[in-house]
Amino acid sequence: MLIMSGKEVAQEVRSEVRLSCERFKADTGHTPCLAVILVGDDPASMTYVFSKGRSCDEMGFDHRDYRLPADTAQQTLLTLIGTLNEDRAVDGILVQLPLPPHIDERIIISSIDPEKDVDGLHPVSMGRLMLGEPSFIPCTPGGVLRMLDHYSLETVGKSVVVVGRSNIVGKPMAALLMQKGRDATVTVCHSRSMNLKAHTLRADILIAAIGKPLAITADMVAPNAVVIDVGINRIADASRKSGYRLVGDVDYDSVSPLSSAITPVPGGVGVMTIAMLMENTLLAAKRHITRR
């Protein structure tokens, strides 16, 4: 059984981006720049935003961090995004999700210039992705593809079952895998799917993006399946100083012995996301330079 290390693959992506960024800066005199907007003080979001800034530093990018109070008006956020859209020094704009309930996420995401949509969540990016046209690939599904490629796990002709249909993970994941070149036969399951197990048992590659700790158990997985666990869930653990530990959507201990390859949590897909954001930011900078 192969344990697919997100740490190892993310490190490879980061090294490639760092090198490519050095060459890009030398050739063009332009430094890629990511603007990250955080509204409110959700501790998990603050940690993610901090990590994104630190990763930009490591890559040799500029970054601008905007911390707005939780009661920021939607219009104030739209005005800031409008300014960043026009700013030629800024290549990528990322609004940290989730936003406070009084702000409409769809309106905010749609207001980002699609050419700066490094999170790949704008309707134009999603539409391009669906059509198989070049687009910014949402970072988490992009990270999953990168891990499959790194470990030479073929998707052509395979039965892939994606559990979860969120706009951030499940939907783009399914759309990417069905494209020509990836050529998987994709089934998407969700909370209304009847007899989930009948579907998951048919998977050569099972991708869990549910947000329910340890929901995929050994009886739901076919022998020798490749199992990708996107879930990141906190469960109480009195033995830890923090009082909790992170687990995936897959019951790793029971599923791993029967799978041919599996991603751990933590240290699996989770660490890929920021690496793919860095790749998208460099890609945005390269596209902007060619258009100037």
Ligand X SMILES: NC(=O)c1ccc[n+]([C@@H]2O[C@H](COP(=O)([O-])OP(=O)(O)OC[C@H]3O[C@@H](n4cnc5c(N)ncnc54)[C@H](OP(=O)(O)O)[C@@H]3O)[C@@H](O)[C@H]2O)c1
Q: Omega of the bond prior to 123 within 30 degrees of 0, cis?
A: no
State phi, psi for 93 to the nearest 5 degrees: -125, 130
Select the residue whose beta carbon is closest to ligand X and give its number. Answer: 166
Contact present, 174 and 162 (Cβ < 8 Å): yes
Start-to-end CA span in the chain (Å)? 49
Smallest distance from ligand X to CB 232, Å: 4
Contact present, 85 and 122 (Cβ < 8 Å): no
- Is residue 191 near ligand X by the rule CB under 6 A? yes
User: For the purposes of burial, counting CB atoms within 10 Å of the CB of 14, is it exposed (0-12), middle (13-18) or buried (19 or more)?
Assistant: middle
In three-state secondary structure terms, 109 is: helix
Instruction: Among 230, 247, 255, 275, indicate the residue that binds ligand X (CB under 6 A).
Output: 230
List, by residue number, the catalytic residues: 52, 96, 119
Instruction: Among 231, 251, 285, 288, indicate the residue that binds ligand X (CB under 6 A).
Output: 231
Instruction: Among 55, 72, 96, 140, indicate the residue that binds ligand X (CB under 6 A).
Output: 140
Tell me the window of 17-25, 39-47, 65-73, 163-171 that interacts with ligand X (CB under 6 A).
Answer: 163-171
Closest by CA position to 283, among listed 34, 27, 12: 34
Contact present, 159 and 187 (Cβ < 8 Å): yes
170 vs 264 by CB, closer to ligand X: 170
Cα–Cα distance between 105 and 101 in angstroms, integer?
9
Contact present, 8 and 52 (Cβ < 8 Å): no
Q: Omega of the bond prior to 98 within 30 degrees of 0, cis?
A: yes
Instruction: Among 28, 45, 85, 166, indicate the residue that binds ligand X (CB under 6 A).
Output: 166
Smallest distance from ligand X to CB 236, Å: 16
Single-letter residue type at 83? T
Two tokens, residue 242: 């923090």
196 vs 222 by CB, closer to ligand X: 196
132 vs 211 by CB, closer to ligand X: 211
Q: Could you give the string, one character per residue 170-189, with x where binding to ligand X holds by CB under 6 A and - elsewhere?
A: x------------------x
44 vs 89 by CB, closer to ligand X: 44
Single-letter residue type at 67? R
Tell me the window of 82-90, 113-121, 128-136, 231-239 that interacts with ligand X (CB under 6 A).
Answer: 231-239
Instruction: Among 164, 177, 205, 277, indicate the residue that binds ligand X (CB under 6 A).
Output: 164
State phi, psi for 242 to the nearest 5 degrees: -70, -20
Cα–Cα distance between 120 and 273 in angstroms, integer?
12
- Is residue 221 near ligand X by the rule CB under 6 A? no
Smallest distance from ligand X to CB 265, Å: 9
Total residues contacting ligand X by CB under 6 A comes to 26
Looking at residues 244 to 283 of the shown chain, list those that interact with ligand X (rule: CB under 6 A): 269-270, 273
78 vs 153 by CB, closer to ligand X: 153
Residues contributing to the site for ligand X (CB under 6 A): 140, 163-166, 168-170, 189-193, 196, 209-212, 215, 230-233, 269-270, 273
